Every structure is written in structure tokens, then in C-alpha cells.
Structure 1
Amino acid sequence: MPHPTPFRLPLTAALALLVAGCASTHGLEPQGSVLNADSLAASRSLANAQSDAGFPQHDWWQSLGDAQLDALIDEALAGTPSLDAADARVRQAIAQAGLAEAAGKPTLGATAQYTGVQIPETAAPPPFGGEYVDVTLLGLQFKYSPDIWGGHRARFQTALGLARAAEVDAQAARLTLSSNIARTYVVLAQAHEAADVANADAKRASQLLELGRQRVKAGLDNQLQIRNAETAVASAQQQELAARQQIDAARNALAALLGKGPDRGLDIARPALLRAAAPGVPGVVPSELLGHRPDVVAARWRVEAARHGIKASKAEFYPTVNLSALVGVAAGNPSDLFSGDSLLAMGGPAISLPIFDGGRLRNNLAKSDAEYDLAVANYNQSLVGALHEVADALQAARSLEAQVATTQRARESAQAAWQLASTRYKAGLGTQLDVLAAQRPLLQLEQQLAALNAQRLGAAIDLDRALGGGLELPAPASDNQDSNDLSKAPTP
């Protein structure tokens, strides 16, 4: 009967200790679950608004019908500091993905080394002690760590997902910039209209003041009418000054959005008559509706990146295999480096397995799980927020459209009343006071109509932005992957 070798018992004990001490992923799983966009009920809120109309065009702002606005947005999209920063973040993320990919590839490098050692006689007797020995080495060094457990690929996929998210963020920055310019341009148009109304009201108040002075001089009225008219004149002048200040502020804001100095705003002329299309959304399910949103798509890419991050963290629990080799020449005398006896070759595999790491691996995996849960929560919140933005913009546009129509009818009635008062005055059947009194509600309705038209245009801009602004965004291959997909990752 064969006897156990003297090394078998220690080896068995070492293996048992190795297995007992190996780090485990037991009990560590992400908790987040990706929300299905089609589960968000929105059919009643979007009722009577869904149609065969497509999504906004990439140049959606041209539907507003102002060539100057088109030129301003084209100028901004050609390059601003905000877009430069977004593009730099994309290049940074792509470079990071390249680093992650390179980490899993073999490396080959050249090495040159000179080493000398003086061995004391107290450490070794002659002929070794008391001698200075030197070695010169020239060689090629090869290193490679095979991706047996998929950790390298998972880290690359993580970095790639973040790079895709950064690319989408850069597109989102362009959409945000163009919509902010369009909204500020609408504010500029409203400010010009408010200045016109205020100017007309100031003229009306001045005529009232002059008429009041004439009546007082004729003994037909008292000083109260003059004081009231003076108050109306001052109020109208203040409103006109406020409108002029708003024009200046809007021009300055547009110049800043263009990445230019405030003098650029002085070159912006009065906007043309802007128009807004009838509100509506494509008749598609929420998942397709929201798939055009850059914030939703970017959040989905970050979920994918975090999912691969968990796989990378799990791969660290497995043994690591490293292959290395060194081939070169070595000699004590540099002149002997290329002699036949100077060849140096060494190499082989090395395997390492974490045993006791103080909880580093488990905490790292727990961190990856939490990052996944956070990415899922942000994605789910982006779905909810995006759908609400679509509904809010649609409902606002529809309501404002009705308000504009109602106010337009009221304005037409006020216009007819003012024309009637003017006709009666010319025929000697009324007074100039009647004409000026009838003009006041007309001017008030014109100011109200200008504000409502601006709000209606703003809602149309918000709706185009909420629908993705015509962007074509690269999305992950599947929008239905959730934490259950992580079961495909190996679990120690």
C-alpha cells in the first residue's frame, strides 16, 4: 500500500484554507429594475393630440418662420463654449474607453538595464565576497493577461457605454442651446410688441391730458381729470421703458448664448412675425415617443454601463492568469552582449487568487450594485419626467391656442367699438373723449394677446424639445434588459 508523500497533507490543508478563505459574492445583488416606458399611462392625457404627424425635424426651429432666428441658431451650433465643453467630454470618454480596451491586450516593450552589486566579504567569502559584479541586459518583455472571466471586456463595455452617453449628452447640449435661443428670441419679439403697445398707450394718455387741460381751461372740468391723465401718461412711459429694458436684456442673452460679447446683440433686428404649428404628438407608444429624448437615451446607456460594471466586479473574484516572457541578451561585459552565450530567455504563467482582502472585493461589488441601482433610478425618473414634459407642453400649447383665439375675438370686438367711436366723433355724434376711452381696452387686449402669443410659441418650442428635437440617437440594442440579465455573469 503506497504511503502518502510528506507534501500531501500540507497541500491538502493549504487547499482547504484556500477554499475557505476565498471571497464570495453571496448575498450581493442589485435591487433596481428598469421601468417599461409603455407601462406609464398617458393615453388619456394625450387624447385627441396624437396624429400621423412625425417627430420634429432636426431643424425644427425653421417652422417658426424667421430667417434671422435660423441664422442665429446656425451661428450658435457652429461653436460655442458650452458645445466645446460637451465635445471635450465626448473625447475624454472615448479616450477612457480606449484605455479600457488597451488594458486587455498583450503588450510588448523593450528594456535596457544595467545592474551592479558589491558583495561584502562578511556576507560571502572570496571569490564572491569583495568583488563588484555588474550585468548589462537588453531584451524584449511580453505581458498578457487572458480575459478568461470576461472582466476586461466588461470594463471596456462599461467605458464604452459611458462614451455613448457622453455622445448623446453632446447632442442634448445642442438641443438645449437651440431651444434656449428660440425661447429668448420669442421674448425679444414680445418685448418689441409690448413697447409698441406702451408707446400707443402713452400717445393716448397724452391726448387725454391735452384734452383735459382744454376742458379745464374752458371751465368744463376740474383738476382731477388732469391729474388722472398725468398719472396715465407716466404709467405708459414707465411701461415703455420697461419694454425697452427687456429688449436690451433679450439681446444680451442671445449674444451670450452665441458665445459672443454684448455688442453682438445690438446687431439683432426686430423679429419677424413668428408662427406656431398646431400642437400634436406622433401616434406611437411611449417607449418610441421617449426613445427620441436625449436625456432618456443617455440614462439608458448609463444603465448599460453600470450593468457591465457589475460583471467586471464579479470577474475580480476569480483567479487571474498572467503570461509574461523576457527574451534578450545579458553579459557582464558590454562587448559580450551579442556573443553566442549571452542569450537570456525566461517566462511562464502566473496564477493569483484573492483569499483574504479585508472585504475589498465584496465592497467593490456592493458599490457596483449601488451604481447600477442609481443608474436605473435615474433612468426611470427620466422616463417619468420626459413623459410629463410632453404632456405639459402639449396641454399648455392646446390651452394657449384656445386662449389666443378667445382673446383675438375680444380684440376684434374692441377694435370694432373703437372704430365706431371714431366714426361717431367724425360725424359729430360723439366726443374725442369717447374715442380715447374706447381705445384703452383695445390696447390692453393687444398687450394681452402679445403675451399669450409669446407663451403659445414658447409651448411649441417646449413640445419640439420634449419630443427630442429631431435628434437621431444611438440607443442600446435592447431596452428591456434589467437586473435579471446580471444572472448571466459568473458568480463565485
Structure 2
Amino acid sequence: MEQITPHRPLSARRPLAALLAACACLLAGACADLSGISPKARQAQPAAVGLATAPAAFDWPDAQWWRPYGDDRLAALVERALAGNPSLMATESRLARARSLVDLAESESGPGVGGRVDVTRQRFTETGMIPPALAGRTRTTYAATLVLGWELDFFGRHRAALQAALGTVQAAEAELQAARVLLASRVVAGWIELARLLEQRRLARETRAQDERMVELVRQRTVAGLDSRVELRRAEGELPRTRAGIEALDGEIALVRHALAVLSAQPPQALAALEASLPPAPRAALPAEVPADLLGRRADVAAARWRIEAALGARDETRARFYPNVNLAGFLGLSTLNLTQWLDAGSRTWGVGPAVRLPLFDTGALRAELRDRTAGLDEAVHAYNGAIADAAREVADRLASLHALARREREQRLALEAADDAQELAVQRYRAGLGTYLEVISAQAAVTAERRLAADLDARAAELHAGLAHALGGGYLAPDARNDGSPR
């Protein structure tokens, strides 16, 4: 007799295969509408903001560009500021937070495993599907379950989230370097300002000593009947004005010292006796034009570029949510009403299957979020374009100012030589009784003004050179622009 094999229903034979087939159909057709939402901003090209396309033929600033000044006191002050400035440390904390987001994104891209142990005292319903042996009774249930879950990243949502997190980290790293360059520049600028004020005070003290000598000379001439008390009182009136100017300079010097102390994470009075001198002008040749290499040597530009990458990842992550979300879930464990039977084979329980989420009724919210992420991408592109435009302008401004300052210094030296000669002649004529004291005062005022102007121009030259080092990136080189891949 022919043996007949019992027929099993399809649902009993292959439920998982049927569900997977249904999921495949849904993946092919169940997607929210993406139309009409696209970025509009475009990244600017170097030539559009006036950057030269040829390689730069000059030496870029070193990472420790203040070291060639040869002043150990300045170097120590900058390095102390970089080691302990609170604002810089806050930027480092933001970087640490960004790195934690990368770890979170990486953890979400793989399978997840969890476990739970439950001990529950429960009364079972009498009117449900509970068998008569348990219905209406109160019993304690014991369960230990291992739960597994894995979201299948068919449409790259996790990859996009990871890209966004990595872009944020790279941007935070570049912003940290930008903050370091800015802090070093502020310390150097404060040092230069302190040196300028100290030189102005030195000149004011020389003027005071000169005024004291002139008062004594006029007093002698007044006693001899060669001058009147008008000239004497006029000469004596110069001294209070000079002393008042010195007091004003002392106040400004104290404020600059306080600022430098705070920048270097010290109490305001810690640098009360700090002396500074102007750094020598660098001997390196200036660039003839603003080089395109600047885009890889400015940390703020690099940060803006990485912000675009982060915005792209965030937008792609939102786009991926328009498509079905497929999860594989499973559990394995032990469950029993009798603790003594917990480890019996009959207490085993398990389950496995896919879960599909379709964005059918929340497409309005998804489209609103996608518009927001797309606008964020446009914003990041515009910020990048603004960053490279500002970078080009800063370098161009400092180059133009340095060239103009060089011409001005040549003319000022000629004016100082003429003022010195005029003062010497006026004093000689006054001693010989051939000139008036008004001529001497006028000649001295001209010399004082030219000497102060010369000190200001020297400080301005040092400030512009330091500002140029900052504008050229301050020694920073973006990781993707380095030849050897090592940090600068």
C-alpha cells in the first residue's frame, strides 16, 4: 500500500519565509515621498574669493610660530595659556562629547544583546485564555531571558548617522586647533601691546627728564634777566602734563598685564612686574598674493568643511528613514511557575522573527525634518563659503597693511631725523639768546611726537606680522592636506 505523507499547511511549514517575502515586497514599494526637497547652496571655488591657484612660494608659519621671536618669556607665556586656559579646556570638553556620539553611532550599527531576569507574583484571570489549572489562582512566575536585536541597515541610515558623528568630531578637532591658534595670537598681541606701552612710558620718562632740565635752564635765565616769569611758568607747566601722561600709561600697562595673566590662567596680579620687548620683524618673504593652500592651513576653514560633512550625514540619515525599517529580533530563555523546574528542558522558551516599520502615516513629520536637515546643509555650505572669503580677506588685509606700513616707516624715519635736527638747532639758538622758548617747546613737541609714532609703527609692524601668521593658519595643516599624515 502506498504510504501517504500528511500535508502541512503553508503557514505551518514556512511562516518565516512568507513573512520575509512580504517584507521584500514592502521594501520595494512602501516609501515616503522625497520629491521637492533638495539643497540649493553650492560650495565656492577658490578663484571666486580671490585665492591664487598656483602653489605658494614662501615659508608657511610653523606650528609654534612665536618661537622664532627668540623670547623665552613670551614662549613660556603662550605655552602656559595653551595648557590651562579655561575657554580652551571647554573646547576640549566639546570635542570629548562629539567623540562619545561616534561611539554611540557605532554601537547602534551592530546587533544588540540584552538580558533580563523576572520574578513576578501574579493572579491569573478566570475569564481569559488561561487554562483551568491556573485561572483565578495567584502564582509566582520565574523567567530568565536573553534578548537579541539587529536592525538591518538596508538603506544606510546607520552609516549616515556615523558619517554625521565623524564629521562633527573632525569639525570639533579643527575648532579646537582654531581656538589654540586664536589663543596664541591673543597672547602674542597682548605681549606686543605691553611692549609698545612700556616703550611709550620710557619715551615719556625721557621727555620728563628733558623737561626738568629745561625748567632749570629757564630758571637760570630768568634769574639772569634773560627770560621773564612767563617763560618760566610755561616751562614748569610742561612737567605736570608729562607726569600725567606717564600715569595714564601706567594704568594701561596694568590692564594689559591683567589680560595676559587671565589668558594664561593666572591671577590678575601674577604678571605685575612683567617686562616685554617687541619681537623682531620676521625675515621671511611675504606672499605676493593670497594662496589657495590657505584652505588646508586654516583650522576654521577645515572645521567649516567638516560641518558640511556632518550636515550631509544628518540629511542622509533622515532620508533613510523614509524607507522601511527592518529589525531582526529574537529571545532565548527559561520560564516556569515552579522554581525547582526552572532548569528543566521543558522550561525553555525562544522566539525569532523580523519586524518591519513603514513610514505610512508620519510622512509629514519626516518631510518637515528633511527640510530642516536640508536647510542645515545649505547653512553649513554658506558658512564654509563665508569662512574662506573671510580667510582670504584677512590675509589680503594684512599683506596690504604691511606693504603700506613699510612705505610709511621710511617716510617717518626721514621726519624723525628732521625733527631731531630742528630741536638741536632750537636749543642752541635759545642758549645763545637768538631764539625764543616757544621755538624750543615746538621743536621738542615735534621730536616727542615722532618718537612715539616710531614706537607705535614698530609695534604695528610686529602686530601685523603676528596677525599674518594667524591669518595663514598659525601652523595648522588639515589632516587630509598633510603629506605625511602626522600632526603639526
Residue number in structure 1 paired with 2:356: 351
Contact in 2 for aligned 1:139/1:328 (Cα 8 Å): yes
Matched, 1:38 2:43: no
User: Residues 347 and 476 (structure 1 numbering): CA distance in 2 closer, same or farther, change over 3 Å?
Assistant: farther
Q: Deviations over 1:223-242 (max 9, x none)?
A: 43234323322221111111
Measured after TM superposition, the shift of residue 216 of structure 1 is 3.9
User: Paired residue for 1:197, among 197, 203, 210?
Assistant: 203
Q: Secondary structure in 1 aligned to 2:267? A: coil
Residue number in structure 1 paired with 2:479: 474
State how far apart, in whole Å, the 2-side matches of 1:112 and 1:103 are.
24
1:392-403 residue pairs with structure 2 within 5 A?
Answer: 392-403=397-408
User: Residues 166 and 111 (structure 1 numbering): CA distance in 2 closer, same or farther, change over 3 Å?
Assistant: same
State how far apart, in whole Å, the 2-side matches of 1:138 and 1:120 are.
23
Contact in 1 for aligned 2:192/2:278 (Cα 8 Å): no
Q: Deviations over 1:283-332 (max 9, x none)?
A: 78743223211111100000111111111111001111101111111111
Unaligned runs of 5+ in 2: 1-23, 483-488
State how far apart, in whole Å, the 2-side matches of 1:58 and 1:157 are.
29
Q: Percent identity?
A: 33
Matched, 1:212 2:241: no
Matched, 1:23 2:36: no
Measured after TM superposition, the shift of residue 65 of structure 1 is 3.3
State how far apart, in whole Å, the 1-side matches of 2:157 and 2:131 are.
51
Aligned residues: 457
Q: Secondary structure in 2 aligned to 1:235? A: helix
Residue number in structure 2 paired with 1:373: 378
Contact in 2 for aligned 1:310/1:365 (Cα 8 Å): yes
Residue number in structure 1 paired with 2:97: 92
1:309-324 residue pairs with structure 2 within 5 A?
Answer: 309-324=314-329
**Aligned-residue CA RMSD (Å):** 3.0
State how far apart, in whole Å, the 2-side matches of 1:422 and 1:178 are.
47
Letter in 1 for 2:159: R
1:381-460 residue pairs with structure 2 within 5 A?
Answer: 381-419=386-424, 438-460=443-465
State how far apart, in whole Å, the 2-side matches of 1:297 and 1:281 are.
23
Matched, 1:131 2:137: yes
User: Paired residue for 2:271, among 241, 251, 265?
Assistant: 265
Residue number in structure 2 paired with 1:490: none
Q: Secondary structure in 2 aligned to 1:350? A: strand
Measured after TM superposition, the shift of residue 461 of structure 1 is 0.9
Letter in 2 for 1:235: R
Measured after TM superposition, the shift of residue 407 of structure 1 is 1.2
- TM-score where L is the length of structure 1: 0.85
User: Residues 339 and 284 (structure 1 numbering): CA distance in 2 closer, same or farther, change over 3 Å?
Assistant: farther
User: Paired residue for 1:363, among 358, 368, 371?
Assistant: 368
User: Residues 333 and 125 (structure 1 numbering): CA distance in 2 closer, same or farther, change over 3 Å?
Assistant: closer
State how far apart, in whole Å, the 1-side matches of 2:59 and 2:460 are.
23
Q: Secondary structure in 2 aligned to 1:60? A: coil
Matched, 1:147 2:153: yes
Contact in 2 for aligned 1:106/1:144 (Cα 8 Å): yes
State how far apart, in whole Å, the 1-side matches of 2:216 and 2:282 are.
45
Q: Secondary structure in 2 aligned to 1:59? A: coil
Matched, 1:275 2:280: yes
Letter in 2 for 1:113: D
State how far apart, in whole Å, the 1-side matches of 2:140 and 2:152 are.
36
Contact in 2 for aligned 1:136/1:331 (Cα 8 Å): yes
Q: Secondary structure in 1 aligned to 2:352? A: strand
User: Residues 283 and 407 (structure 1 numbering): CA distance in 2 closer, same or farther, change over 3 Å?
Assistant: closer
- TM-score where L is the length of structure 2: 0.86
Residue number in structure 2 paired with 1:109: 114
Q: Secondary structure in 1 aligned to 2:169? A: helix
Contact in 2 for aligned 1:40/1:286 (Cα 8 Å): no
